[in-house]
Amino acid sequence: MTTQTLGERIRAARQAAGLSQEKLAERLGLTRQAVTKWETGQSAPSTENLLRLAEVLGVPVTALLGEEASGPPLAGQPVRILSFREFVQLLWGNLRAALIILADWVLVYLAGRLVCANPYETSLIGFLFDDWSKYYLFGWLIRGGLFRFVMVVSVSATLFLGAWRFAAVSLVISALAIPIGEVLGPNPANAPYGHGHDGWLIWICLNLVAFVSGIVLERMAKKGVRLRSKKGAVWAAATAFACITVTVLILLTRPVMTGS
């Protein structure tokens, strides 16, 4: 008996559920082309999409992977495991998304270097890695390793958990928080104490908002909520409101200059 491929099992489960490729793609928040590629073996769903597929189609994940749905295998029957190709295909979706997220972080870094780096730096190595910065916040983030830390967290979440939505939210808010913190951060009242800039606090707090917002978005996606839906619009508005509120609170609660 010929063993079915992952794509063939997905097609069979879809047809058994009475769904067209378009309808299945709509419930997953994806394109029909993505479903077609899965069924024809051109690509494989990520771990997250595989779990969502099983939920939408009403079958256990083990059924899609070609394993017994319940109970131990029959005597003399080998346990079905993924082929190397299928395993690589499952990982490739996460790896590709992680590479895209990493490339976007690199672009943000290069943009920051282009704006903030020493204009008299002549060497490429100095331009890319010199700690000097004519602006406070970006240089502080690079020297302190916080920019690198958030980048690693978002890329790792995409690679190992398939949480590319979480990573995208983190990337966008982190990038926007740099100019926001630079413009709104200067605080002369703290200068006598050796600390006249609150941009670091704005950046950190906005990143905390991004982390929470990204987790919420991932949970919404697992329930089939699309970003362009009404719930997606509410999520976007709530995220923007939280970012604005946090920034305003920091500005309102910090000390001000007093007369001598």
Most confident among 126-130, 134-138, 224-228 (mean pLDDT): 134-138
Q: What is the model's pLDDT at position 61?
A: 80
Least confident of 32-36, 82-86, 97-101, 247-251: 82-86
Written in H, E and C, the secondary structure of the chain is: CCCCCHHHHHHHHHHHCCCCHHHHHHHHCCCHHHHHHHHHCCCCCCHHHHHHHHHHHCCCHHHHCCCCCCCCCCCCCCCCCCCHHHHHHHHHHHHHHHHHHHHHHHHHHHHHHHHHCCCCCCCHHHHHHCCCCCCHHHHHHHHHCHHHHHHHHHHHHHHHHCCHHHHHHHHHHHHHHHHHHHHHCECHHHHHHCCCECHHHHHHHHHHHHHHHHHHHHHHHHCCCCCCCHHHHHHHHHHHHHHHHHHHHHHHHCCCCCCC
Q: Bigger pLDDT: 150 or 97?
A: 150
* 76 band by pLDDT with thresholds 50, 70 and 90: very low
For residue 72, pLDDT over 60 is answered with no
* 84 band by pLDDT with thresholds 50, 70 and 90: low
For residue 189, pLDDT over 70 is answered with yes
Q: What is the model's pLDDT at position 183?
A: 93
Q: What is the model's pLDDT at position 121?
A: 62
Query: What share of the chain in percent tops pLDDT 90?
Result: 33
For residue 69, pLDDT over 50 is answered with no
Mean predicted confidence (pLDDT) in 220-229: 77
Q: Bigger pLDDT: 162 or 181?
A: 181
pTM above 0.85, yes or no: no
